[in-house]
A and B are shown apart, each in its own frame.
Chain A
C-alpha cells in the first residue's frame, strides 16, 4: 500500500457523494488528513441522510460483557450471517476495526447507553449469541450520524470541506478511464454543474426503494451508483436485498413508506400467530395453547433472535398459510405481555419507550396493552457496486463505501452491522486505502473545462429535456408504485424462475410506457420535486432489470435470496457452494440488453463453509 506524504496531501482533491455514516465520516477523516474535500448531498442538510433512521445499535467485539466475544467471533458471525457469500478478508478487517469505532464515537460525545457504574451498556441482536450491540436508546443511527456530521461540520468550518447540500449527482465523469469528476444538478436552481477531483467517493446508500415501499427515506435512490454502472463500474450481487422482519404492516394504497420497528424489540418481544387459520379473535382472547410461537418452535437455540432473512421468511410462510393477523392478513404479533410481567412496564419503557410511542402514533394501538403487529419490508441492500479490498471499483479512482458497495454482508446482513460497516469504511478504511490510488495516479489538477465534462453535462441536460418533453398522463409516483409491485411480487422474499422471467418481461414494458406517458410539470431550471422523482424512477426502471437477471442467474438459496426451487424438505435454504460460491458482478451493455456476468470466486481459507443453522 502506497502512502501520500503529509505535505503532499493538500495537492489532492476528493469528491464525496452522500453524507450518511460512510460519507460524512469519510469526508471528515479525509479532510483531517489534509485532503481537499467537496461533499454533496440531496437533502437540505448533511445531517438528514438516511443513516439517521437506524434504530437498534452498532456491533463491536469489545467483550465488555465477558461473554466470550472476540474479533474472530464477530468475523465468523458476520460471514456466517451472510451465508458465506462475502469476501473473507474484507469481513475480517471490518471486525478488526469495529472496536475503534466505538472509541471514536464516545470521544465525539455520542451519548451511548451506560450502566450505573458508568460503563457502556450492550444489548443482543439477531444472529449472535453474545451481547455486543452498543446503542443510544432507539436512535443509535441518529446519534452516530450526528457524531459524524459534527466531525464533518468542524472541517467545513475549517474550510477543508466544501459542502453542497440540495445537490444531486447526475453522472460520473471519466478521463482516460479514471473517475475524475461528477456532474450535479443544483436542486434549488436546477442548474447543471461539473466538479472535478483526483478521485470520486460514492457513499450514496442502498437501492431498497426499487420495491417502492421500504423502510428507507423517500429520497433514497439508485441514481448515483447506477450512473457509475452505466459508465462501466460493475454492479455486484444486486439481488441480495434484505427484507426486515419487524416493520409496521402495510395498510393502504396511499402508503408512501413502511416504518421499521427496531429488531432490538425481539430481545423481549415474542413473535406468534394463532395456530388456527383465519382466527379472528382479538389477541388477548386467544389462549396460550392456541398460539404458535413459530420462531421459538423452529429455532429453539436462537428463538425470536433468529437472523433477519429467516425471521422474515417464516413470517411470510405463516401468513401465506392463512394464519396472518390484522386487517390485511399480512401481519404477525410481536407480544410484550410476558416481558412486561417479568420486568415491569417501567423497564420496557426504558428500553423501547420511543419505539412504542412511534407505533402508537402510527397505528393508534397501545403496544403496552395489545401486541404489536409486524410484517417484513424492504430495508437494506447487501448488493452494490463491486469494489476491491481497497474499496475501489473497477474504474480507477472511483471508490464506493457504506451500503453503496457490496463488500461485507454477503447474502444477508446481521442486525447492527450496517452502522458498523458504514463507519468502518469512512473512518478507518478509505482514508488509508485511497492514498494508494493517489500515490500511483498523482495529483492532476483537472479542470472542468475539459471536453469530457461538457459531453457529460450535455447528456444530463438532454435526458432532463427528454423527460420534461414526454408530457404524458401518469405521474412518476404511479410508475414507481407499479414497479414496486412487480419487484415485490416476483423478486421479493421468495423468487422462482417463472416469476423472474415474468418480471423481465414486465419491467421493460413499464419502462417503455414511462418514456411515453410520464407527466412532469414545472420547469427544469427551477426547484422541481416531480422532475427529481421522475429522474430517480427512470433509473430504477433500468436498474430493476439487472436485479432480476441476477436473481435468475443465482440458482441457489442463500441468505436473503430465496429461490423456491432450491430448498430443503423442511423449507430451509439450499445453498450451492459448488456452482455459486462467487460474487456476481454485472457489466452494463446497454439499456434493455442483458448485462455481462463476471464472476469473482470466493475463496475461504479460514472458515469452513458450513450449513447455516440457527436451530
Chain B
C-alpha cells in the first residue's frame, strides 16, 4: 500500500519545527510502524534529505524507547501496543498519517520525533527504590508474600516508562507513571519500610518537573501500552494522604 505521511521535523530543541509531507511506497501489512519509517528514511537518504529521527531500540514493546503520536494518539491507539509493535495492517492504502513527537513541557523535543524524558529518571531518583545495598539481605523466601499482592505489584511494575500517559493527558500529568512505581513498591513488604518518604519525595519531584495534575480523564489508561490501570493513581493518592501527616527526613 501507499501512504501519505505528515511528519514533525525539528532540527533541535531551539528550532521552531514544522510538519513535512512524505510519501511511503510499497508498504506491506506485516511491517511494523517503525519499519515503515525505516523504508521512508531509506528513500529520504537516497534523495539527500536527512532521515526522520526517532527513539527506538528493542522493537518488541519492552524497552520503552519508542514514542510517537500517530494521528493524535500516543502509540497509535491500538490497545496494549507500543509504536514498535503496531503493524501496518492497521492502516489501509491511501491513508494519510500524522506523526508527531510526545508533547509536554516536561518532555522537550531533542530532534524531530525524539524527546527528552529524563524528568522520569529524576522522579524515580527521588524515591523509586528500596534503600538496600548489595549484600546484607535475607533469604528470598524469608518473608512470604501473598500471591495476589505479588501479582498486583507486578501489574504495576510492568510500566515501561515510555511517557505515553503524559503525552495523552491534557494536563501533561505524569500521575500514571509515578503511581505505577509507588503502587508496585507499596504492595510488597520490602517497599513498605519507606512508603511515606517515597511517595512524598516522588510527588514533590513530579511537581517540580512541571507535570500537571490528574483530573480523571483516564486518557493515560487508554493509551498505556502495558495496560496500567488508573486504580494505581487512587492508590498513590491514598499513600500520599497516609504519608501527609508523617514527618520524613
Query: Residues of A at under 8 Å CB distance from B?
Result: 25, 28-29, 32, 43-48, 50, 52-53, 62, 64, 102-109, 111-120, 134, 136-137, 139, 141-143, 146, 150-151, 153-154, 156-157, 163, 165, 188, 217-219, 251-252, 254-257, 259-260, 357-358, 361-362, 364, 427-428, 431, 473, 475, 477-478, 519, 521-522, 526-527, 529-530
Whether B63 lies near A522 (C-beta < 8 A) is no
Residue of A nearest to B63 (CB): A48
Which residues from B are CB-within-8-Å of A43? 57, 63, 65
- Identity of the chain A residue whose Cβ is nearest the Cβ of B56 in the assembled complex: A218
A105 contact set on B, CB distance < 8 A: 140
The 0/1 profile, CB within 8 Å of A marked 1, for residues 21-53 of chain B is: 000000011111011001100100110111101
Chain A CB count within 10 A is highest, among B42, B118, B157, B161, for B157
**Is the C-beta of B61 less than 8 angstroms from some C-beta in chain A?**
yes
Most chain A CB atoms below 10 A, which of B50, B62, B134: B134
Say whether, besides A44-B117, A45-B121, A428-B134, A254 and B57 are in contact (CB < 8 Å).
no
- What chain A residues lie within 8 Å of B34 (beta carbons)? 256
Does B239 have its Cβ within 8 Å of any Cβ on chain A? no
Contact flag A118-B145 (CB < 8 Å), given A48-B64, A255-B35:
yes
- Bound-state Cα–Cα, A519 to B89, Å: 31
Most A Cβ at <10 Å: residue of B42, B114, B126, B140: B140
Contacts of A357 in B (CB 8 A): 80
In the docked arrangement, what's the CA distance between A58 and B34, Å? 31
How many Å from the CB of A81 to the closest CB on chain B?
A: 24
The residues of A that contact B114 with a CB separation of less than 8 Å are 44, 527
Q: Given A45-B120, A529-B53, A362–B87 Cβ distance below 8 Å?
A: yes
Interface string of B170-189 (1 = CB under 8 A from A): 00000000000000110110
Interface contact A527-B125, CB-CB below 8 Å: no
B145 in contact with A358 (CB, 8 Å): no
Which of A62, A109, A527 is B110 in contact with, Cβ under 8 Å?
A: A527
Q: Are B154 and A217 in contact (CB under 8 A)?
A: no
Residue of A nearest to B81 (CB): A361
Which chain B residues in 112-157 approach chain A with CB under 8 Å? 114, 116-118, 120-121, 124-126, 128-135, 137-141, 144-147, 150-151, 153-154, 157
Complex contact A53–B58 (CB within 8 A): yes
Chain A residues with Cβ below 8 Å from B161 are: 45, 47
Interface magnitude class on chain B: 35 or more
Are A153's CB and B139's CB within 8 A?
no
**Cβ of A103: which chain B residues have Cβ within 8 Å of it?**
137-140
Which residues on B are within 8 Å of A, measured CB to CB? Answer: 11-12, 28-32, 34-35, 38-39, 42, 45-46, 48-51, 53, 55-65, 78, 80-81, 85, 87, 89, 110-111, 114, 116-118, 120-121, 124-126, 128-135, 137-141, 144-147, 150-151, 153-154, 157-158, 160-161, 184-185, 187-188, 190-191
| Smallest CB-CB A-B distances: 7 pairs | A118-B144, A150-B129, A107-B137, A217-B57, A111-B153, A111-B154, A106-B140
Instruction: Determine chain B's interface SS by DSSP, over half rule.
Output: loop
Besides A52-B58, A165-B118, A364-B29, 11 more A-B contacts (Cβ < 8 Å) are A45-B121, A53-B58, A106-B137, A109-B190, A139-B158, A150-B128, A153-B121, A218-B59, A521-B50, A527-B114, A529-B51
Given A142-B160, A519-B45, A32 and B134 touching (CB < 8 A)? yes
B139: chain A residues within 8 A (beta carbon) = 103
Separation of A150 and B128 alpha carbons in the complex (Å)? 7
Asked if B87 and A109 sit within 8 Å, CB to CB, the answer is no
A20 shortest CB reach to chain B, Å: 11
| B58 x A217 contact (CB < 8 A) | yes
Q: Is the CB of B147 within 8 A of A114?
A: yes
Q: How far is the CA of A362 from the CA of B33 in the complex (A)?
A: 11
Contacts of B53 in A (CB 8 A): 527, 529
Known: A119-B141, A256-B59. A153 touches B125 (CB 8 A): yes
17 contacts between A and B (CB under 8 A): A28-B134, A32-B134, A43-B63, A44-B117, A47-B64, A104-B134, A111-B153, A113-B154, A114-B145, A142-B158, A153-B125, A165-B118, A256-B59, A259-B59, A475-B46, A521-B51, A527-B110
Option from A29, A427, A521 in Cβ contact (under 8 Å) with B49: A521
Q: Which residues of B contact A217 (CB under 8 A)?
A: 57-59, 63
Q: Which residues of B lie under 8 Å from residue A142 when comparing CB positions?
A: 62, 158, 160
Q: Assess the B118–A254 pair: CB atoms within 8 A.
A: no
Tell me the nearest residue of chain A to B64, going by C-beta.
A48
Contact B124 A150 (CB under 8 A): yes
Q: CB-CB < 8 A to A257: which residues of B?
A: 59-60
Which B residues are CB-close (under 8 A) to A25? 134
A519→B144 CA distance, assembly (Å)? 58
Q: How far is the CA of A530 from the CA of B53 in the complex (A)?
A: 9
Instruction: Give the residue name and chain of the B residue nearest to A354 (CB).
Output: B158
Q: Which residues of A contact B126 (CB under 8 A)?
A: 157
Chain B residues positioned under 8 Å from A427 (CB to CB) = 134
Note all chain A residues with C-beta closer than 8 A to B157: 111, 136, 143, 146
- Cross-interface CB contact of A521 among B45, B60, B125, B147, cutoff 8 Å: B45
Please name all residues of chain B whose beta carbon is closer than 8 Å to the beta carbon of A62 when the two chains form the complex: 140-141
Q: Report the nearest A residue to B116, measured CB to CB.
A: A44
Q: Are B190 and A108 in contact (CB under 8 A)?
A: yes
Assess whether B137 is in contact with A256, with CB atoms less than 8 Å apart. Answer: no
Distance to closest chain A CB from B17 (angstroms):
14
Question: What residues on B are CB-neighbors of A252 within 8 Å?
Answer: 28, 30-31
Residues of A within 8 Å of B151, CB to CB, are 111, 114
Specify which chain A residues have a CB less than 8 angstroms from the CB of B147 in the assembled complex: 114-116, 118
CA distance A120 to B146 in the complex (A): 10
Shortest beta-carbon distance from B12 to chain A in Å: 7
Task: Say whether A151 contacts B188, CB under 8 Å.
Answer: no
| B177–chain A nearest beta-carbon distance, Å | 12
Whether the Cβ atoms of B150 and A47 lie closer than 8 Å is: no
Residues in B neighbouring A119, C-beta threshold 8 A: 141, 144
CB distance from A279 to the nearest CB of B (A): 23
- Cβ-defined contact, A46 with B50, below 8 A: no
Task: For B129, list chain A residues within 8 Å (CB).
Answer: 108-109, 150-151, 153-154
Residue with the greatest number of chain A CB neighbours at <10 A, chosen from B59, B64, B111: B59
**Is A113 a contact partner of B150 (Cβ separation < 8 A)?**
yes
Could you say which residues of chain B place their CB within 8 Å of the CB of A116? 146-147
A361 engages B87 (CB within 8 Å): yes
Contact indicator B132/A107 (Cβ below 8 Å):
yes
Cβ contacts under 8 Å, B125 to chain A: 153-154, 156-157
Measured CA separation A47–B124 after assembly (Å): 11
Contacts of A141 in B (CB 8 A): 62
Whole-angstrom distance between the alpha carbons of A150 and B124 in the complex? 8
Most chain B CB within a 10 A radius of its CB, from A118, A217, A219, A361: A361
B186 and chain A: residue at smallest CB distance:
A109
Q: Are B62 and A431 in contact (CB under 8 A)?
A: no
Task: Please state if A29 and B144 are interface contacts (CB–CB under 8 Å).
Answer: no
A118 with B146, Cβ < 8 A, contacts A109-B184, A109-B191, A529-B53 known: yes
- The one of A117, A120, A146, A475 in contact with B42, judged by C-beta atoms closer than 8 angstroms, is A475
User: Given A106-B190, A153-B121, A252-B30, are A522 and B35 also a contact pair (CB < 8 Å)?
Assistant: no
Chain A neighbourhood of B132, CB < 8 A: 104, 107-108, 151
In Å, the complex CA distance between A29 and B137 comes to 14
Contact residue among A44, A50, A111, A113 (Cβ-Cβ distance under 8 Å from B55):
A44
- Cross-chain contact of A45 among B31, B89, B117, B130 (Cβ < 8 A): B117
